[in-house]
Every structure is written in C-alpha cells, then in structure tokens.
Structure 1
Amino acid sequence: MVNAFAKADKSIVALFGHAGSYEWSMVLDEVLHFNVYAIYKPIKNKKFNQLITDIRKKFGSTMVPMRHATRVMSEKADNERCLFALVADQAPKRARSQYFTNFFNKPSAVFRGGERIAAEHGLPVFFLAIKKIKRGYYETTFHKITDDASKEPEWLVTDKFFSLLEDQIKMQPEYYLWSHKRWKTSLQDVKRDVELSPSIQR
C-alpha cells in the first residue's frame, strides 16, 4: 500500500510517536522505495547530537533539523519520491505553545507542521505504529489517515494521529516515553491566543 505511492512518484508523510522502539523507524529507507527524510529535534550537546544523527543515518535516511523542516519538505515534496518521517508528539515550549488537542482526555500543546505541509502539497498521511513482539523483535504497521491532506478539514490529521497514538500506547503503555512530559504546558500557562482542536470540550 505504501510503496504504491512511491511507484506513482508521490511523496507521503508518516507520523509516529515516542512509542515502541521508534528509533528503528530509521530502517524504512532499506525496505521502502522512497527517499526518507527524518525530521528531528537537535540535542543541545553538539557531540552527543552528532553521535545520534550518525546512528540514525546508518540506513541512508537524511536527517533534517526541525527548524529546516518546512523549507526542505516544500522543496522536496513535489520533486522526489519522499517519505517525510515526523515524530509528531513533540511538546512545544511554553512560549511557542499555540495549538492544543485532546490527548488522554487532557488538553495537550502540539505542533501542526506535519498536517500543514501535507495539506499544502496534497500529500497522503500515514500513522506509523510500532509494536514490540519480543526482545529484539518489532512490528510496524502503516495506518492511512488520508489520501490527500488538502481535502480534509483542519485538525483532522493531527487529531487522528493522536487518537491512533493513544490506541497504540494503551496496548503497550510500558513502551511509551512518559518522561517526554507531554503535558508540561497547560492552557492556563499560555499568554497568547490559542487555537483549540474540535476534540477539546469547550
């Protein structure tokens, strides 16, 4: 299903969370017919950041810092067969928190860059679920969110991603990166105007 888009010279967006052994998603470049661009948040320690990016590039993926993601995705989406891989449950800093969706029945600050770039270029969007089978063995499943993000109402892609991520976490809660502090910013902490997902009860 996924490689069918590559054969049609169509780029896609794959969203996943800090669940399962998400670092193994770097192997996608070996098994799919796409050029894989992995969007990542650089680590402050430069030496450690270089080590991690070198490890993540092992299978041929191109690493793209978050600050360059919009530019790179805009340049590549229509000119290559790209798979843009985004760990989409990153938590914005308080000063950058503007968008909130419902995650485990609690308002959670989110980034919406993946949804917006996909909509701008009319790209398909998938959720990448990663499940641990046993020690050293993992299984991944692509769940299609949409064939064309430009045809969906605002928030659908982001909300569907977090709903699917919830389902994955509930099946194996011990493999979610809870130290990620998903709810470190509340609505009361934000001084700017915020935009709420329709999934949040007003």
Structure 2
Amino acid sequence: MKKKLSYIGYLLAYGFWFVMSLLPLKVLYIFSDLLCLLIADVIRYRHQVIWKNLKSSFPEKSDEELKKIERGFYHYFCDYLVETIKLMTMSKEELCKRMTFTGLEEFNQAISEGQSMAVYLGHLGNWEWITAMPYWAPGALCCQLYHPLENEYFDKLFKYVRERQGALCIPMQESLRKIIQFEREGKPLVVGYIADQVPMWWNMHHWLNFLNHDTPVLTGAERIVKHTKQAFVYGDVTRVCRGHYNCEMKVIHRDTKVIRDFEITDIYFQELEKTIRRQPELYLWSHNRWKRTREEFNERFEVVNGKVVPKKKK
C-alpha cells in the first residue's frame, strides 16, 4: 500500500512538474515573486536558522545589511525553485544561453590530453543548471555525485531531470568504483563534487575556518580525486542577472597526487568563501550547516587508528 501511494505521489509530482515547466521563465518568475512574499513575510521559512548563520558568518555587518542579504536569499531561493522546475523541459539552446562557462581553454586542453577533471562546487547559484556542462566539454563524459532519495520513485524523477542534458548521476556510495570503471573505458571524465555538506560524526577527519566558524568538512571527494589523479578545478559561480549564471572554471592543480593531504579541501573552502562574500544572497543559508561542533565531537568521539569511534564510557 505504501509503495502504491508513493507511486501515485510520483505520478502527480511528475505531471505537475512537467506542466509547470512548459511555462516561460518570465511567467515562472511571477510565481517566484508571489512565493517569496509567502515564505519571507508570512511563513518566515527557516528564519531563525538563516539569521543565525548570517549573523555569525558576517559579524562585521549591521543588522540592516544582514536583513538585505536575507531578503535577497529568499528571492534567490524562490528563483532557484522555479528555475529547477523549468529544467525538466528546457531546451539545449535556452540552457546554454542562461548557464554559461568561461575559463575553458586550460580546462578543455587537459581533457584533450586525456585527464579527468574534478569540479568542486558549492550550494550556491543554481547548481542544477550546471548539468549543462556536457555542452561545454564535448570531449568528456560528465557526471555528478549525488545522494539517492529514500523514495525510489522521486529519486527516479530527480535523476531523470538531472540527466536530461547528458550528465550522469552517480550515487555517492558507488562513486569510486564507477569513476574507475569509466576511466578504464578510456574516456576522460568531468566529475562535479558539491562538497560543502555537513559530514556525519564518523566522517569528521578535518576541520577548518569557514565563514568565521570552526567547521568540520567532508574529505571523501579529495580522496577520490587524488586516488584517480583528477585535476582539481573550482567552479566559481556568479549570477549575472536574473535567470543567467556564469561558472568560471579555475584549474588550480593538475597533479593532485603529489599535493599534501587536505590541501584540495582547504583551497576549495577558501575559494567558496570568496564567492559567497561576493554575492552572499546566493548561498544556501537555510541549511543548518554548523549544527555539529568540535566541543561535542571531542566529548562524544575519539580517533583510533584513523577512524572516528564513540568514546567508551568510564
């Protein structure tokens, strides 16, 4: 019964998404403006989390400046939602016009030499539209790592939308195996890593300062990159104007095998912070990113032979 209800929900969601995606973006942006009024002024969606994140990330800014950023975030977030809806039926021509890539000379040169590229991104701008990458790197197989949804039907729906432009979705738990398999087939890869999620306690192997916070960070992507000798690239996303984004491909290290541990992760978060400070309203402030602290970690866990394990009760 539960599976049948999930399937019915999937059909309804698919139908609604498809019909809405047929509307022009200028019409969808009207819905976005109305939705913004609802979630910002009526519901005040995750206001406490957003305000706490902004206040602690930008202690140098006044409350008026922070309120402006928060309002800008709500506008951007609603635009992100309708832009993602549009992705279901958006044509190649429109997507390439609205999601552009620059800094491709060295990037595509490395691909032509047979090297795979690791593109680090954040939850900033419209990361769903980055799936236009196959049109800008025709010599590579483009793929993105993702966490599958628990509901198999909705997972199928989101996977379909994300793969429409030719970029493959690879589940996180299969990432290394799949990447090695594709590389053995002889085609260079462009792999997208959105690596600014909050790690689980047992995955906390590295901490750094990010936006004035002592922050635990994921390092699994770095291990994959170094193991497979992918070049390290930072995708610097800018919102040019409403409905138009640019991603500058900054090739930072091509020989990642020889650089010190955590250097890729450190540089990634340094670059991401620069991008956020340039257009702070474009970051996903509604996520409770700093809910796990070093104090709680030290109280509950310890590292034994390189693994995080619960502390034994005395």
TM-score (norm 2): 0.59
Q: Separation in 2 of the partners of 1:186 and 1:2?
A: 37
Indicate the residue corresponding to 2:249 in structure 1.
Answer: 142
Q: Separation in 2 of the partners of 1:192 and 1:46?
A: 36
Q: Secondary structure at the residue paired with 2:144?
A: strand
* 1:174-185 matches, cutoff 5 A: 174-185=281-292
Q: Structure 2 stretches of 5 or more lacking a match?
A: 1-105, 307-314
| Cα displacement string for residues 55-91 of structure 1 (whole angstroms, at most 9, x for unaligned residues) | 1001011100111112212333453210111111121
Out of 216, 223, 244, the position equivalent to 1:109 is 216
| Cα displacement string for residues 127-165 of structure 1 (whole angstroms, at most 9, x for unaligned residues) | 011111111111110112211111211111000000000
Q: Structure 1 stretches of 5 or more lacking a match?
A: 196-202
Q: Separation in 2 of the partners of 1:121 and 1:94?
A: 26
Greater fraction of residues in strand: 1
On the 8 A contact 2:234/2:268 being kept in 1, the answer is yes
Structure showing greater radius of gyration is 2
**Cα deviation, residue 95, structure 1:** 4.1
Q: Separation in 2 of the partners of 1:183 and 1:134?
A: 30
Indicate the residue corresponding to 1:193 in structure 2.
Answer: 303
* 1:97-136 matches, cutoff 5 A: 97-136=204-243
Q: Secondary structure at the residue paired with 2:265?
A: helix
Higher normalized contact order (CA 8 Å, seq sep 6+, divided by chain length):
1
**RMSD over aligned Cα atoms:** 1.7
TM-score (norm 1): 0.89
Q: Separation in 2 of the partners of 1:124 and 1:72?
A: 17
On the 8 A contact 2:203/2:218 being kept in 1, the answer is no
* 1:58-77 matches, cutoff 5 A: 58-77=164-183
Q: Secondary structure at the residue paired with 2:257?
A: helix
Matched residues, number: 195
Q: Which amino acid aligns with 1:52?
A: F
Indicate the residue corresponding to 1:25 in structure 2.
Answer: 130
Q: Secondary structure at the residue paired with 1:188?
A: helix
Q: Separation in 1 of the partners of 2:153 and 2:208?
A: 35
**Cα deviation, residue 25, structure 1:** 0.8
**Cα deviation, residue 30, structure 1:** 1.5
> Which aligned runs of 4 or more in structure 1 are off by greater than 4 angstroms?
none
% same residue: 27
Greater fraction of residues in helix: 2
On the 8 A contact 2:198/2:218 being kept in 1, the answer is yes
On the 8 A contact 1:37/1:62 being kept in 2, the answer is yes
